[in-house]
Amino acid sequence: MLIKQANDILSSEITDQSVYEERRRFMTSSIGLAVAASLLPIQSSVAGYGGKPLTFNKNSQFDTSEDLTSYDKITNYNNFYEFGTDKYTPAKNAQALTTDPWSVQIEGEVEKPGLLHMEDILKQHAIEERIYRLRCVERWSMVIPWLGFPLAKLIKQVKPTSKAKYVQFETLHRPSEMNGQKRAVLDWPYIEGLRIDEAMNPLTILAVGLYGEVMPKQNGAPLRLVVPWKYGYKSIKSIVKIRFTDKEPVSSWTKVAPNEYGFYSNVNPDVDHPRWSQSKERRIGDFLKRDTLPFNGYAEQVASLYHGMDLKKYY
């Protein structure tokens, strides 16, 4: 059997959005539910890393009745300053990035530090499809069918010590391929972080793909964080290092503009960005704005993490 590499997949071979959405509508209909029950688990396979197929199941717990943002919009409207500061150049410039082979360094307050290779990560952790909203601080949002696995599973694998209170993530620093890093727009490499209880929350995933495809380079290939109740810049892309620490990491955007980008970065319609209101957002592809939901609509799952905290102070 011929297994195609991620770089060999043509856009024409990717499931068209209309077909993908029609399949979702069928599976959630009364007839579809009966058929789906006989077919569970729903399993698919696409080209992976190291010549291995990437197999995944759909997790219906994280489905939504909202319309999905089209594959074209998700992959051509991106925040990825390593490949350009506007929204459109990353889709072109990111194609220079070498993503296979890939490895992630685990270090800090853990019992099992070391280097994890991407193909081993995919072997050790079952991949599932989860549909999450992504809300960016610039007041736009998307609904994306991610492929990934809970970050908590990797954390348990490496066994943090009792001193580990935070998890710090670091993006690849390779100016020869990431042309945006040749400019001092940020203090490279890009750094982000979470409290360890945030990292362990079941919603937090390490994503390896979207729309049934291996992660496109402009969206953070081959491994990115997705924290759906926080603004998009927390969901760091192209991760090469995960460090466990007893001190709160200084995130890249917090470092450059602490009055605008706090460590927590929870989606909060009641806390304005200094230069604009966060009470409304525009879903990419829509004309009208909609109300921003507290914690991006995931309050039931995560609000308890911040019990007793002043969320205007800890923004």
CATH number at residue 120: 3.90.420.10
54 pLDDT tier (thresholds 50, 70, 90):
confident
pLDDT value of position 13? 39
Can you read off the two tokens belonging to residue 78?
């991106």
Dist CA 4 CA 197 (whole Å)? 38
User: Is residue 311 assigned to a domain?
Assistant: no
User: Is residue 29 assigned to a domain?
Assistant: no
User: Is residue 166 assigned to a domain?
Assistant: yes
Is residue 8 predicted with pLDDT exceeding 70?
no
User: Is residue 92 assigned to a domain?
Assistant: yes
23 pLDDT tier (thresholds 50, 70, 90):
low
Specify the range with the lowest mean pLDDT, choosing from 3-7, 93-97, 153-157, 161-165: 3-7
Average pLDDT over residues 53-61: 91
pLDDT value of position 78? 98
Dist CA 55 CA 206 (whole Å)? 15
pLDDT value of position 287? 93
pLDDT value of position 149? 98
User: Is residue 13 assigned to a domain?
Assistant: no
Is residue 249 predicted with pLDDT exceeding 80?
yes
Between 61 and 29, the higher pLDDT residue: 61
Average pLDDT over residues 232-254: 98
pLDDT value of position 47? 73
Total number of domains in the chain: 1
Mean pLDDT of the chain: 89
- Taking Cα atoms as reference points, which of 153, 133, 156, 150 lies closest to residue 205? 150
User: Is residue 208 assigned to a domain?
Assistant: yes
Average pLDDT over residues 76-81: 98
| Containing structural domain, residue 227 | 66-306
pLDDT in tens, 123-134: 999 999 999 999
Is residue 74 predicted with pLDDT exceeding 70?
yes
CB atoms inside a 10 Å sphere around CB 216: 23
Strands 280-283 and 140-150: parallel
User: Is residue 201 assigned to a domain?
Assistant: yes
Is residue 25 predicted with pLDDT exceeding 80?
no
Average pLDDT over residues 43-54: 72
Strands 191-195 and 213-214: unpaired
pLDDT in tens, 31-44: 444 434 333 345 67
Between 7 and 151, the higher pLDDT residue: 151
User: Is residue 16 assigned to a domain?
Assistant: no
Q: Which residues of 242-271 are buried (b: 16+ CB within 10 A; e: fewer)?
A: bbbbeeebebbbbeeeeeebbbbbbbbbeb
pLDDT value of position 9? 37
